[in-house]
């Protein structure tokens, strides 16, 4: 007899955001949270356009950012960071 249990991750639909200035962006940091009752969550790490999110949901920059809107999106197997120009 073979028993197989397959467990899949739960994706939460969460939109979060803050603002900063170009001069303050070099030292910007914040932490994402799970807005629902999922308990402990793990975020998909991603880096792009000088913006990073780690598995703990910590958002940091790697330098002064240009003015614009930076979006981190996890859709499907590949997360992306984009900046509206």
Give how many domains the chain has, as a whole number: 1
Q: Quick check: is 60 in a domain?
A: yes
Distance CA 30, CA 70 (A): 14
Q: For residue 75, is it within any domain?
A: yes
Residue 15 falls inside a structural domain: no
Output the tens digit of pLDDT for each of the chain's 85 residues. 777 676 666 666 666 788 888 888 888 888 887 766 667 777 888 888 888 888 888 989 998 888 888 887 765 556 666 666 5
Answer whether residue 3 is part of any domain.
no
pTM of the model: 0.69
Residue labelled with tokens 């998909």: 44
Q: In whole angstroms, what separates CA 15 from the centre of its chain?
A: 10
CA atoms within 13 A on the CB side of 64: 5
Q: List own/partner pairs for 75-80 with CB under 8 A and 24 or more apart.
A: 79/44, 79/46, 80/46, 80/48
């Amino acid at each position: 007899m073979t028993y197989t249990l397959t467990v899949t991750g739960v994706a939460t639909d969460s939109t979060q955001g803050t603002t900063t200035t170009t001069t303050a962006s070099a030292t910007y940091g914040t932490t994402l949270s799970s807005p629902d009752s999922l308990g402990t969550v793990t975020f998909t790490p991603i880096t792009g356009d000088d913006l990073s999110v780690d598995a703990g949901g910590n958002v940091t920059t790697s330098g002064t950012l240009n003015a614009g809107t930076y979006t981190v999106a996890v859709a499907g197997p590949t997360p992306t960071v984009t900046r509206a120009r």
